[in-house]
Amino acid sequence: MSLSVALTKGRLESGTVAMLEQCGYGTEKLKNKGRALVFPDTKKDIRYFLVKANDCITYVEHGVADIGVVGKDTLMEGGKDYYEMLDLKIGKCRFIVAGLAGNNPLEKSGHIRIGSKYPNVALEYFHSRGKDIEVIKIDGSVELAPVLGLTDGIVDIMETGATLKENGLVVYDTAYELSARVIVNKAAFKMKRDEVMAFIRDLEGVVNNAEEN
Ligand code: PRP
């Protein structure tokens, strides 16, 4: 049976395609994609499609994609109806709490406002520390929120730390380590078990090789 695989475009894209290539899969169409959105594997009975991170979970949960590759940050924020099968150990970054120098939101008493693309993660993090917060959902350039005085701090992903540094923000805590994960639709895990497991094992081999070298 053929497999449909949803890949997250953007940050994780090139690393994921490189891993598929190391599996011996036919990634030519994914590498020369133009404006296409669906890409047949030129060697295996697989079709890939490139989607935004949140949509990757949606396609997998609805069974349109049997498998998805998506960041743990997106998985932590929402969606639960899938199996998380493998840590690809690429796209490594972390959830951090940051704010202006001298203004640690974790030490603020009274009303705390936090800006985040990940409101559920932000709430859970502060609740686990016994703090109630108001989260203001920000869709991009989250670092602006404390700089302009909209919030006391942010919960966001940090990769290199360059964006925080350039905007004069300080990391006050690292909340969680993150990386790309492979998720599987629950029905596909039963109905296409051999194909799904072969795909997972191939990628697992690449992860293990990378760790040994
Ligand atoms: C993410 C994140 C930070 C930045 C961190 O944003 O929200 O802004 O990357 O990366 P760094 O630590 O390497 O500087 P993204 O680039 O996805 O864009 P966005 O702000 O438009 O969401």
For the chain, the straight-line distance linking the first and the last C-alpha, in angstroms and rounded, comes to 34
Give the pairing type, strands 3-8 and 113-116.
unpaired
Cβ(103) to ligand 1 under 6 A?
no
Number of domains in the chain: 2
Q: What is the pLDDT of residues 67-116, one digit of tens each?
A: 999 999 999 998 789 999 999 999 999 999 999 999 999 999 999 999 99
Averaged over 28-52, what is the pLDDT?
A: 94
Cβ(158) to ligand 1 under 6 A?
yes
Domain CATH code at residue 81: 3.40.190.10
> Directed axis angle between helix 13-22 and helix 193-212, to 10°?
100
Average pLDDT value for the chain: 96
Residue whose Cα lies nearest atom 19 of ligand 1: it is: 140
The pLDDT-based confidence of 212 (bands split at 50, 70, 90) is confident
pLDDT at 213: 76
The pLDDT-based confidence of 34 (bands split at 50, 70, 90) is confident
Are 156 and 202 part of one and the same domain?
no
pLDDT at 54: 95
The atom of ligand 1 lying closest to the CA of 159 is 12
Are 8 and 63 part of one and the same domain?
yes
Contact 180, 68 (CB under 8 A): no
* Pocket residue to mutate for ligand 1, from 138, 163, 164, 177, most atoms within 8 A of Cβ: 163
The residues, ordered by sequence, that sit 6+ positions from 155 with a Cβ below 8 Å of its Cβ are 95, 96, 97, 114, 115, 116, 118, 121, 122, 125, 175
Are 87 and 187 part of one and the same domain?
yes
Are 20 and 87 part of one and the same domain?
yes
Question: Hunting for tokens 């993150």 — which residue is that?
Answer: 178
Cβ(139) to ligand 1 under 6 A?
no
Averaged over 48-58, what is the pLDDT?
A: 96
> What's the DSSP call for residue 179?
-
Cβ(156) to ligand 1 under 6 A?
yes
Cβ(163) to ligand 1 under 6 A?
yes
Question: Hunting for tokens 């602006």 — which residue is that?
Answer: 144
Question: Taking 80 as the threshold, does the pLDDT of residue 2 lie above it?
Answer: yes
The residues, ordered by sequence, that sit 6+ positions from 89 with a Cβ below 8 Å of its Cβ are 179, 180, 207, 210, 211
The pLDDT-based confidence of 194 (bands split at 50, 70, 90) is very high
Are 202 and 125 part of one and the same domain?
no
Q: What is the pLDDT of residues 160-187, one digit of tens each?
A: 999 999 999 999 999 999 999 999 999 9
DSSP secondary structure letters along 42-91: SSSSEEEEEE-HHHHHHHHHTTSSSEEEEEHHHHHHS--SSEEEEE---S
The whole domain housing 114 covers: 93-177
Cβ(160) to ligand 1 under 6 A?
yes
Kindly report each contact of residues 129-132 with a partner whose C-beta sits within 8 Å and lies 24 or more positions away, as own/partner.
131/106
Are 118 and 187 part of one and the same domain?
no
Q: How far is the CA of 192 from the centre of ligand 1 (A)?
A: 36
Q: How far is the CA of 157 from the centre of ligand 1 (A)?
A: 7
